[in-house]
């Protein structure tokens, strides 16, 4: 765990997602990506077990960082402006993977799905008793979110890997905000902001029919 663990603090994620929505409830991409970078550090701090997600998320973050700093960066300040730009200019192709494989809409859709899994899992950690089995919490969260988009062989491998997860206490201590009780309290503060960002994003994607792609694929 080492340095990667010490780099993570749940408060950083809380601040990022707290700042993610402006007064118009637009999802600000710089804060969204910052929040995800914090979540990746958290996953990496727990060892290789979550590398199947963190590596792919890191690739998606790199795609988004290029778009947000590229020649069309003015269209990538918020999720809403990105969707308007890419949909309006037919830069999103949900049917043919090769047409626009690295569009912002497709890329954030993967992050969006993974965020739902993490939100459900962290909520499970927050509300579960001390002796709760993290493998069960994580599997239930995965089955309610990402599993729908993965082929059977990946679903099987992932759920087997979850059996080696550390205890609830180790997860809470990895959040670097003090005792497990303090971590639970901090999760209670952070999760409503993450959930609101997810809900606003979900509504936007549904309104623009950007949830239509349900093909089995790689992670997430």
pLDDT in tens, 1-13: 334 444 678 888 8
Higher pLDDT, 137 or 7: 137
Percent of the chain predicted with pLDDT > 90:
69
Find where tokens 């206490």 sit.
Answer: 169
Average pLDDT over residues 70-74: 95
Q: Say if residue 18's pLDDT is above 80.
A: yes
Tell me how far apart the alpha carbons of residues 49 and 77 are, in angstroms, rounded to a whole number.
33
Q: For residue 178, is it left (φ>0), alpha (ψ between -120 and 50) or beta?
A: left
Answer whether residue 129 shows pLDDT above 80. yes
Contact 212, 143 (CB under 8 A): no
Burial 57-79 (b: 16+ CB within 10 A, else e): bbebbebbeebbeeeeeebbebb
DSSP codes of every residue in 52-113 = HHHHHHHHHHHHHHHHHTSTTGGGGSBHHHHHHHHHHTT---SS-TTTSTT-HHHHHHHHHH
Buried b (16+ CB within 10 A) or exposed e, 153-185: ebbeebeebbeebeebeebbbbbbbeebeebbe
* Model confidence at 213: pLDDT above 60: no
CB within 8 A of 149, min separation 6: which ones? 113, 214, 215, 216, 217, 220
Q: How many CB atoms are located within 10 Å of the residue 150 CB?
A: 19
Which has more pLDDT, 99 or 121?
121
Instruction: Tell me the torsion sign for CA atoms 93, 95, 98, 102.
Output: positive
Model pLDDT, residue 98: 55
The token pair at 181 is 């009780």
């Amino acid at each position: 765990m080492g340095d990667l663990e010490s780099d993570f603090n749940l408060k950083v994620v809380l601040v990022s997602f707290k700042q993610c929505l402006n007064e118009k409830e637009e999802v600000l991409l710089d804060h969204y990506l910052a929040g995800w970078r914090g979540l990746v550090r958290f996953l990496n701090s727990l060892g290789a077990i979550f590398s199947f997600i963190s590596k792919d998320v890191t690739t998606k973050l790199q795609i988004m960082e290029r778009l947000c700093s590229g020649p069309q960066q003015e269209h990538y300040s918020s999720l809403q402006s990105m969707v308007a730009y890419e949909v309006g200019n037919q830069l999103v192709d949900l049917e043919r993977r090769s047409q626009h494989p690295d569009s912002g809409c497709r890329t954030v859709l993967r992050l969006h799905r993974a965020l739902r899994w993490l939100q459900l899992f962290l909520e499970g950690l927050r509300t579960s008793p001390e002796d709760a089995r993290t493998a069960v919490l994580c599997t239930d969260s995965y089955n309610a979110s990402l599993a729908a988009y993965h082929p059977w062989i990946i679903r099987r491998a992932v759920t087997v890997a979850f059996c080696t997860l550390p205890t609830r206490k180790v997860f809470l201590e990895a959040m670097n905000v003090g005792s497990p009780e303090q971590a639970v309290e901090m999760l209670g503060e952070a999760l409503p902001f993450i959930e609101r960002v997810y809900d606003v994003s979900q509504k936007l994607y549904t309104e623009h029919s950007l949830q239509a792609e349900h093909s089995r694929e790689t992670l997430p």
